[in-house]
Structure 1
Amino acid sequence: MLEEKYDAVTGPRAAPAQHGEAAFFDVDNTLMRGASLFHVARKMHQRGAFTLPEVAGFAWKQFMFILRGENMDDVHAVRDSALTLAAGITVADVEALGEEVYDEMIESRIWPGAKALAEQHLRVGRKVWLVTGTPIEVATVISTRLGLTGALGTVGEIVDGAYTGRLVGEILHGPAKAMAVRGIAESEGLDLTRCWAYSDSHNDIPLLGMVGHPVAINPDSRLRRHARENNWPVYDFRSGRRAATLGLKAATVGGAVYGLWRGTSRLRGPGH
């Protein structure tokens, strides 16, 4: 149960820091409607970075990825393609793109209910981290704009301000998220049994299962079933009906990363 302290005159007031406690939020379809990198890909299309046939191919890859379900073989295959396309792109390009996409496309898609949960954790003195497969540069923009503590995201190796085409570690997906959170817990002195985690995807069950307060938000069918079997709270912020999974999940870790790097690879210009 989240607790909130009030001042008789001014209303809600910040509580002392809750040492050892934190909350971890997935981003795509948990904190926001849809997938962040899908909107990055849309922005790249607006800039003429790729054509309509390429957009159609991008959408088909997303569809097939969802139809088959996510597995680590798929993730590794997409990772290899994405890294090849990423080599040579500058960090400044991705950071600037992240700022634009947040202002124009992401901000309006933040779930008010999920944002309220994050803000309530902050008000009672808990740190709030985003944990996402999105590149850390984009995840950091979202975290900063929302006033959160920080972000854990996929980290690309950078030399002289440009991506080398290699990762530092793995795509932050599935079990890798749990490992990253465990690392933060050790460095921050967190007691995971007193921490919260929020996600929409069954792929994040390793993360949800390692904290004392797991919460399913807008869950897919497998996570909804798992949450019900384990008596986890379920919040569904999709109005009026269950949102179409293929629409909201159109850019999960595989297709979304592919779409981002397929578009931004052309930022390098001719000769690369």
Structure 2
Amino acid sequence: MSPPEKPRRASNLQRRSKLAGEAAAAAAEVETALDHPVDTDSAAFFDVDNTVMQGASIFHLARGLHRREFFTTREILGAAWKQAYFRIVGVEDPEHVADARSSALSFIAGHTVTELEELGEEIFDEAMAHRIWPGTRALAQLHLDEGQRVWLVTAAPIEIAQIIARRLGLTGAMGTVAEHENGVYTGRLVGEMLHGPAKAEAVKALAAREGLDLARCSAYSDSANDLPMLSLVGDPVAINPDATLRAHARQQGWRIRDYRTGRKAARAGLMAAALAGAAAGTVAAGMALKERRGHS
């Protein structure tokens, strides 16, 4: 009886990814000044973390919110560990994906949309603005100069994604949509995190809404997790790519742009490993402490 479970879980994940993509596309804002682009058939889609911005936007956001006592240290450590695991492992473990999905953005439950947006503006100025990659920003501007629309596509909360897009003068953004009722977050997501296949669903939904020809569109990312999105468009580009994406891009003849120096790239890899180790150690220590308390 166990074999049917995997196809059912995969089907549920695909359904949630599609729902997340459609929700993100529906929530995507279009700046008034760009409502009538010169080139109406093509556009560019940019991943955010390590593509547009150095590091993870959700980490910068969470750190800024934590400093403002938006949530407790225990809450952010639990969410951070599950999200880090999800990003590393991908969709191979459906049970953990479901757990990660249920915990994603749960720390904002009970807070208002307005509150997150206002704090997001402050946090962008203090923690994100100086981390924008100038090279990627220039690529986005080239598309704008050619009369094309440019959207960010990220797993970060859509409210934050829209702030980043607005501050960079882009057309709009698609991000993870957190459910809210009467302007207050419930702690649940609409569908799935906007990650991997969900990003591709968001791009397809937006292309259908805006009448885009995906064969004439471009997409940019640093991660092999975004291959579903990159493979949708006629002009996929690897930016600061991980090893898997770099190898795939070379094999496919895709453009590759790396705005890191060798030293910075190495340092980024070491830092990622250190953070992952620290997160694992913290969680393990917390579990051990909890276990000892339970036996006392």
Q: TM-score range by the shorter chain?
A: 0.7 to 0.9
Residues 181-226 of structure 1 show CA distances to partners (whole Å, capped at 9, x for unaligned) of: 0011111110000000000111100100010000000111111111
Matches within 5 A, 1:1-272: 17-49=38-70, 69-71=89-91, 73=94, 74-82=96-104, 84-241=106-263, 242-243=265-266, 244-245=268-269, 247=271
* Paired-residue identity, %: 57
Counterpart CA distance in 1 for 2:273 and 2:166 is 24
> Letter of the aligned partner of 1:245 in structure 2?
G
* Aligned mates of 2:164, 2:145 — CA distance in 1: 19
Q: Which residue of 1 aligns with 2:32?
A: none
User: Once the two structures are superposed, what CA deviation does each residue of 1:137-195 show, in whole Å capped at 9, x if it has no partner?
Assistant: 00000000111000011111221110123322321110110011001111111000000
Question: 1 CA distance for matches of 2:108 and 2:159?
Answer: 14
Q: Indicate if the aligned counterparts of 2:76 and 2:107 stay in contact, CA closer than 8 A.
A: no
Q: Name whichever structure is richer in helix by fraction.
A: 2
Letter in 2 for 1:39: H
Letter in 1 for 2:223: S
**What CA distance in whole angstroms lies between the structure 2 residues aligned with 1:188 and 1:246?**
41
Taking a change above 3 Å as real, the CA distance of residues 180 and 41 of structure 1, as seen in their structure-2 partners, is same
CA-atom RMSD in angstroms: 2.6
Whether contact under 8 Å (1:220, 1:245) holds in the other structure is no
Distance 1:236 1:250 in 2: 22
Rate the CA distance shift 1:83–1:98 in 2: closer, same or farther, 3 A. Answer: closer
What TM-score results when the alignment is normalised by the length of structure 2? 0.72
Maintained 8 Å contact 1:22/1:128: yes
The answer to which structure, 1 or 2, has the higher relative contact order (CA under 8 A, 6+ apart) is 1
Aligned twin of 1:3: none
Q: Separation in 1 of the partners of 2:75 and 2:174?
A: 30
8 A contact 1:34–1:250 mirrored in 2: no
Q: Describe the shift of the 1:110–1:177 C-alpha distance in structure 2 as closer, same or farther (beyond 3 A).
A: same
Change (3 A) 1:107 1:23: same
Taking the aligned partners of 1:249 and 1:177, their CA distance within structure 2 comes to 25
Distance 1:90 1:54, change over 3 A: closer
* Letter matched to residue 183 of structure 1: A
C-alpha change, 1:212 and 1:176, in structure 2 (3 Å) is: same
Structure 1: distance between partners of 2:179 and 2:83? 26
SS at match of 1:23: strand
State which drifts further: 20-29 or 40-49. 40-49
After superposition, the Cα gap between the structure-2 partners of 1:249 and 1:177, relative to the gap in structure 1 and judged at 3 Å, is farther
Please report the TM-score for the alignment, with normalisation by the length of structure 1. Answer: 0.78
Deviations 1:8-64 (CA, angstroms, capped at 9, x unpaired): xxxxxxxx7112010000000000000111111221232244666777767666665
Work out the number of aligned pairs and report it. 237
Separation in 2 of the partners of 1:58 and 1:206? 25
| 219 and 250 in structure 1: CA distance in 2 versus 1, 3 angstrom threshold | farther
Change (3 A) 1:85 1:240: closer
- What is the alpha-carbon distance in structure 2 between the residues aligned to residue 89 and residue 56 of structure 1? 19
SS state of the match for residue 148, structure 1?
coil
In structure 1, stretches of 5+ residues that fail to align are: 1-15, 256-272
Distance 1:202 1:237, change over 3 A: same
How many Å apart are 1:245 and its aligned residue?
Answer: 2.9
Task: State which drifts further: 92-101 or 25-34.
Answer: 92-101
